[in-house]
Amino acid sequence: MISNNEEESGCAVPQETRASGVIAALVAVYLSWSSTYLAIKFALESLPPLFMMGMRFFLFGLIVYAWLQSRGAVRPSLREWLWSAVIGMFLMLGGSAGVAYAQQRVSSGLAALVIATTPLWTVLFAAIWKHRPNWIEWLGLSIGFSGIVLLNLGGDLRANPLSAFLLMLAALSWAFGSAWSRQVPLPRGMMAGATQMIAGGAIVLIVGFAMGERVTAMPSLRSLAAVAYLGIVGSLIGFTAYIYLLGRVRPALATSYAYVNPVLALLLGLWLGGERIGMLEVWAMGIILAGVVLVVLGQRGGRGDAG
């Protein structure tokens, strides 16, 4: 497949170059988005969760916005800004900030495992706009949700019901916001991500301030480095690589991070975070990921999109 830039230049990029670019983008998405959970854990050592996530999205959203403007991108209309705030509220506040708040009491690997259920919820919410699941997706949903039940029977989630609720709410919020974003007027391309980060980040900061969050002491160097990592690696590199993949490979491959990242996040938590995982969580992970794989395969075979 030749991109627009390649077509305009009149020369095609060699197949080997395109393949290496796809592989590099996949590795970037896998490593960046799987490591953000551990980075959140380190950032929380001396920063409140909503303030930390709000600043991350707001500041790096401004950076992306300024860069796009410098390249001649069209400025979003007021209507697009308003819808970006609505979608950003679901993605940044209900989704990402909810994960950070829950990670004050549960491990990064366990948080990643619960968020791995997002594609399951996305399929259900997409049905609101008449994207009906096919039988393969229904099978995947049944298997995946049985894994969720198993995951909540014991371990850290059972001991921390509020965190369990927030993580499930985060998966639901992210899934609903993702499905709804395809039905509303948003800026095109990466500008949509920039406006959602800016507006959503501002909302997260406001909610955090209303809840009494304050930074009363100088954050640790590790926390500041973690926030920088979340912005640069998680938001800039990961998001850019994902957009690159969406334009060059099938959605089933582009969204394969959904069942790769939880495994990598668990391993990183065990290796660098000193976290532990029980056999119940291992079994639940296998069941949930099996369900997600079936859902992704069902989407490729049925509609050819990501839901």
Q: How far apart are the first and last CA of the chain?
A: 22
Stated pTM of the model:
0.80
pLDDT one-digit tens code per residue, 91-118:
999 999 999 999 998 888 888 888 888 8
Distance, in Å, from the CA atom of 261 to the CA atom of 57, rounded to the nearest integer, reads 21
pLDDT for 236: 83
Residues in the chain: 307
Domain ranges of the chain: 16-302
pLDDT for 85: 96
Distance, in Å, from the CA atom of 194 to the CA atom of 199, rounded to the nearest integer, reads 9
pLDDT for 284: 81
pLDDT for 144: 81
Residues of the chain with pLDDT under 70: 1-18, 152-159, 246-247, 250-255, 299-307
230: how many CB neighbours lie within 10 A of its CB?
27
| C-beta of residue 273 within 8 angstroms of C-beta of residue 39 | no
Distance, in Å, from the CA atom of 14 to the CA atom of 2, rounded to the nearest integer, reads 10
pLDDT for 5: 43
| C-beta of residue 103 within 8 angstroms of C-beta of residue 111 | yes
**What residues contact residue 130 under an 8 Å CB cut-off, 6+ apart?**
none
pLDDT for 74: 92
134: how many CB neighbours lie within 10 A of its CB?
14
pLDDT for 252: 57
pLDDT for 301: 54
pLDDT for 1: 30
Determine whether 200 is exposed, middle or buried from the number of CB atoms within 10 Å of its CB (0-12, 13-18, 19+). Answer: buried
Distance, in Å, from the CA atom of 280 to the CA atom of 152, rounded to the nearest integer, reads 10
pLDDT one-digit tens code per residue, 222-267:
999 999 999 899 888 887 788 778 667 765 566 677 778 888 888 8
